[in-house]
Structure 1
């Protein structure tokens, strides 16, 4: 039997945080990471274009023998996940699976019995209302207060961490006025801001961060689905691909992993 892999996909940098966290929790799992750096950010694209990008990305990862893909991007999860699950998979890889990040995050909010939950995310996610629509299915008793935070990702992607504090304080203030008991970091970049957010919101508000949630939920999924888990190798393999290799991306990857990692270019637009 062919040894399969776990795929992790994101449009930019945030997925690296998720990939690193997954490896920390399940060190032996064979993993391939793909970042679509050529088209980042996805949030200013149409749903159809985002779907096309995601289609190509998962097609590449499946061609690399991934049995399961974690779509570690909130925008991709909102715009393309359901369609990929319902249209692409049955036609191309009916025995394989693609998972997103929105539903697991909301499941944790419900499991922890939160009732007044704040959400910070990109404009696209807030306008899509994906968190609201999924929350109604999971636990309609939870009240969600959303705040678009459009300046955070550009600052994180362009070495602007030193200017984040005052802007973040402005974003968080209206949520804190609602007396939230927890806050969802609804972008996979935002774990980089956890310590700053903690300073602003204090200790009484729980932070629901996807770099902590997704590895735990993935481990649980693999335990419940041996037909998906068992074919995935456990040799510790880790490979990194992006659609455009830039110096700034390599610097940020080094910052996230605290070491230099080998990043290869994936020519996914050459696939037919």
Structure 2
């Protein structure tokens, strides 16, 4: 079973009451912990995320990170609008704020290990921005996804928009950004905003079962796959020195030797 979202032991990095990190074996969970506001994301939370991801990246015991929201209503309802007049009141402060948001999302996207967003309920605005920066998104029938800058007179950042376009295509991205309309779970799955859609009462188990599965695979292969896919999405079409090295150097790893040996011995592999 996954670690309780309320657990506060074995935390790492910069953690506040609003952003909690806990571990269950090789799986770390980052909990957006503001259920009274539907987990609206504050500037302090955005600021903390890159440092948290750096800590998790450097921890060899962590193989997968799951992002989730506290409570029963939302993954995250968006950025905390109640602090906008103070932290985003003009172009100068808004620039600094936007840089913090971009850095948080980039830290998730560039994290070298697999990341999964477990989405129950609202995944709106800045919440969608965080979820789209993860590798995979698992949701339930209560999932509602929307990106709402047109309702607030804002402009969605280029990197955030690029992630949306990569998933749903340019026309549907324009529809979402221009309208701000909510997309229900079934349509979110069809469009690629969700990778799996399961009943609410099985979402937690399915998400953590899949995360646990990833921890049993050859980690060199898992992380290389993430690198390869991200480079293709960014426009790379032929090998460079890094991708060729990843492809060729796997033959020198203990994972490769164990995988071949396990296949020949007709047993499950036991990767280190």
Fold similarity call, TM over 0.5:
no
| TM-score, normalization by structure 1 | 0.31
| TM-score, normalization by structure 2 | 0.31
Larger-Rg structure: 2
